[in-house]
Amino acid sequence: MTDDRPPERVRVSGPPRRRTGRAQPRRRHIDAETRLGEIYLGSLLREQLRLAALSLLVLLLGLGTLPALFWWQPGLAEVRLLGIPLPWLLIGFAAYPFLLLVGWRYVRAAERNEDDFTDLVETMDP
């Protein structure tokens, strides 16, 4: 007599992970919300805030000064390159690659900050 039931399904999630019995001290401080954990998280938040403020400053200086430049030098608004007015080229076309570059740099730096924070927290020696 054969068994007509389908085989039991097994969930495969990857190789088993080794677990040492030792808790990682710095992560424990963050998970338990101790004063030391607050200091670690505060340092990450301050660094991320500094990075965001710096990126905003670059954006303000890079794009925010363009209208002021055309106001101070009205003759620049009459300049044409390839038949297109200079303000259209700078604000309408060149601004987008600049925004992409600033955004890309911000994300890379923010991820680097988070990786440094993770390395700090996961070190066994406090």
Tens of pLDDT, residue by residue over 26-53, are 666 566 567 777 887 888 899 999 999 9
* Domain ranges (residues) in the chain: 25-122
User: In terms of Cα–Cα distance, which of 38, 67, 55 is closest to 105?
Assistant: 55
121 in Cβ contact with 30 (< 8 Å): yes
Amino acid at 98: F
Report the pLDDT averaged over residues 100-121.
90
Q: Which residues pair with 81 in a beta bridge?
A: 84
CA separation for the pair 71, 17 (Å, rounded): 63
pLDDT given at position 101: 95
pLDDT given at position 15: 65
CA separation for the pair 106, 51 (Å, rounded): 7
Contacts of 39 (CB under 8 A, 6+ apart): none
What is the separation of C-alpha 67 from the centre of its chain, rounded to a whole number of angstroms? 29
pLDDT single digits (tens) 59-102? 999 888 888 888 888 887 778 888 888 777 778 888 899 999 99
